[in-house]
Amino acid sequence: MQEKQAAYKRNIVRQLYFNRELSCAELSELTGKSLPLTTRILNELLEKGVVAESGFAISTGGRRPLMYSLKKDKLFVISISMDQMITRIALMDMDNQFVGEVKSIELTLANNPDSLSTLVSEIDGFLKIIEIPKEKIAGIGIGMPGFVDIRRGINHSFLKSPGGDSIVNMIETATGIPVLIDNDSSLIALAELRFGAAKGKKNVMVINVGWGVGLGMILKGELFRGHNGFAGEFSHIPLFTNNKMCSCGKSGCLETETSLAVIIEKAIQELQQGKLSVLKDLSKEHIESAVDAIMDAAVKGDKFSVELISEAAYHIGRGVAILIHLLNPELIVLSGRGSVAGKLWLTPIQQAINEHCIPNLAKDLEIEVSVLSNKGGLIGSAALVMENYGQLHIKQHKKVEMNLQLE
List where CATH 1.10.10.10 sits in the chain. Answer: 2-70
pLDDT of residue 54: 87
Listing from the earlier edge strand, what are the strands of the sheet with 366-369?
Answer: 222-224, 213-219, 204-209, 331-335, 366-369
- Reduce the DSSP state of residue 180 to 3 states and report it: strand
What is the assigned CATH class of domain 2-70? mainly alpha
pLDDT of residue 3: 73
pLDDT of residue 42: 92
pLDDT of residue 396: 55
pLDDT of residue 192: 96
List where CATH 3.30.420.40 sits in the chain. Answer: 76-187+378-405, 197-371
Q: State the average pLDDT over residues 350-359.
A: 96
CATH 3.30.420.40 applies to domain 76-187+378-405? yes
Length of the chain: 407
pLDDT of residue 407: 47
Whether residue 60 is predicted with pLDDT greater than 80 in this model: the reply is no
Q: How far apart are CA 363 and CA 149, in angstroms?
A: 37
In which band, very low, low, confident or very high, does the pLDDT at 1 lie, cut at 50, 70 and 90?
A: low
Look at 137 and 400; give whichever has higher pLDDT.
Answer: 137
DSSP sequence for 245-281:
BPTTS-BSBTHHHHSHHHHHHHHHHHHHTT---S---
Q: State the average pLDDT over residues 275-304.
A: 91
Whether residue 398 is predicted with pLDDT greater than 50 in this model: the reply is no
In which band, very low, low, confident or very high, does the pLDDT at 400 lie, cut at 50, 70 and 90?
A: very low
**Do residues 129 and 135 make contact, with C-beta atoms less than 8 angstroms apart?**
no
Residue-wise pLDDT for 363-395, tens only, equals 999 999 999 988 999 999 999 999 998 776 655
In which band, very low, low, confident or very high, does the pLDDT at 249 lie, cut at 50, 70 and 90?
A: confident
Look at 391 and 331; give whichever has higher pLDDT.
Answer: 331
Whether residue 402 is predicted with pLDDT greater than 70 in this model: the reply is no
pLDDT of residue 61: 63
What count of Cα atoms within 13 Å lies in the side-chain half-sphere of residue 347? 7
pLDDT of residue 394: 57
Q: How far apart are CA 10 and CA 4, in angstroms?
A: 10
Of 365, 343, 345, 344, nearest to 354 by C-alpha is 365
The phi-psi region of residue 325 (left if phi > 0; otherwise alpha if psi is between -120 and 50; otherwise beta) is: alpha
CATH number of 197-371: 3.30.420.40
Q: How far apart are CA 312 and CA 360, in angstroms?
A: 25
Q: State the average pLDDT over residues 8-36.
A: 92
Whether residue 397 is predicted with pLDDT greater than 60 in this model: the reply is no
pLDDT of residue 131: 83
Dihedral (C-alpha) 304, 185, 80, 171: value to the nearest 10 degrees?
A: -140
Average pLDDT across the chain, whole number? 90
**Angle CA(354)–CA(359)–CA(360) in degrees, nearest 5?**
155
Q: State the average pLDDT over residues 216-238.
A: 92
Q: State the average pLDDT over residues 72-98.
A: 94
Look at 249 and 213; give whichever has higher pLDDT.
Answer: 213
Amino acid in the structure at residue 289: S
Whether residue 246 is predicted with pLDDT greater than 90 in this model: the reply is no
Mean pLDDT is lowest, of 12-21, 140-149, 240-249, for: 240-249
Residue-wise pLDDT for 337-352, tens only, equals 899 999 999 999 999 9
Look at 95 and 163; give whichever has higher pLDDT.
Answer: 95
Q: State the average pLDDT over residues 6-33.
A: 91
